[in-house]
Amino acid sequence: MLRPSGPECGAPGARWRLVLGALLMCAVLTPSAQAAGRAHQHGVARLDIAVDPGEITLQFSTPLDNLLGFERAPRTDAERAQVQSLVARLRAGETMWRIDPAAGCQLAGVTLESAVLKLGRSVASAGDTGHADLEGVYTFRCADTARAGHLDVGLFGFRHLHRVEVQVATARGQFRRDLKRPAQRIVLSP
């Protein structure tokens, strides 16, 4: 979850991260069948976008099946190579996520986590559920985020992924969108 910390907590951009974090907590804690179904749904990924002055943060979560076709540790050399290729592709955040060039954004950081793939600080296993996820956080530093009119998503190259549930928090408002294959563009205004 995106949480402001340190002396910049009172900064205007930190407020939007706080709002996005509150929205995410509400979605996680809402005791409805729809919210429970979001926890792990094959074919569907989640993308949360926070647009702050000077920075755009993307938080991405998906079942591994959407990316690899399986949700366990790789067993063969071919599967290990597939995982290495996936990780390299996801770490290339500037090609996976293409922010409107008018904003002048540059990738500043990528964090990937998956217990099954031994990525990040995750040490827990998928357990008996047979389900495993991958989470990524991408931070872009931008010259002028107010000029970021859209984000092009490079996720539909993964054949098992069919829909991305998107939540956006900007200075202009908050909204939700669904991005369905073959569409790739998310407009960053309500």
Per-residue pLDDT reduced to its tens digit, 72-92: 999 999 999 999 999 999 999
In a domain, 24, yes or no: no
Buried b (16+ CB within 10 A) or exposed e, 151-178: bebebbebeebebbbbbbbbeeeeeebe
Tokens representing residue 72 in the block: 């366990």
Residue 145 has pLDDT above 70, yes or no: yes
- At 41 the pLDDT is 77
Range of the domain at 66: 40-187
In a domain, 101, yes or no: yes
What tens digit of pLDDT does each residue of 91-130 get?
999 999 999 999 999 999 999 999 999 999 865 544 445 6
Residue 2 has pLDDT above 80, yes or no: no
In a domain, 116, yes or no: yes
In a domain, 3, yes or no: no
pLDDT band at 3 (very low <50, low <70, confident <90, very high): very low
In a domain, 7, yes or no: no
Instruction: Outline where the chain has alpha helix (H).
Output: 12-29, 33-38, 64-68, 77-91, 93-96
Q: What is the Cα Rg of the chain in Å?
A: 17
What tens digit of pLDDT does each residue of 54-67 get?
999 999 999 999 99
In a domain, 141, yes or no: yes
Q: How far is CA 69 from CA 57, 65, 102, 130, in A?
A: 27, 4, 36, 13
How many distinct structural domains can be found in the chain? Answer: 1
In a domain, 135, yes or no: yes
pLDDT band at 181 (very low <50, low <70, confident <90, very high): confident
In a domain, 26, yes or no: no
The mean pLDDT of the chain is 81
Q: How far is CA 152 from CA 13, 117, 128, 159, 179, in A?
A: 22, 27, 36, 17, 11
Residue 11 has pLDDT above 60, yes or no: no
Q: How far is CA 129 from CA 28, 72, 126, 136, in A?
A: 19, 11, 7, 21
Among 23-32, 166-175, 179-188, name the one with the lowest average pLDDT.
Answer: 23-32
Among 13-17, 133-137, 151-155, name the one with the lowest average pLDDT.
Answer: 13-17
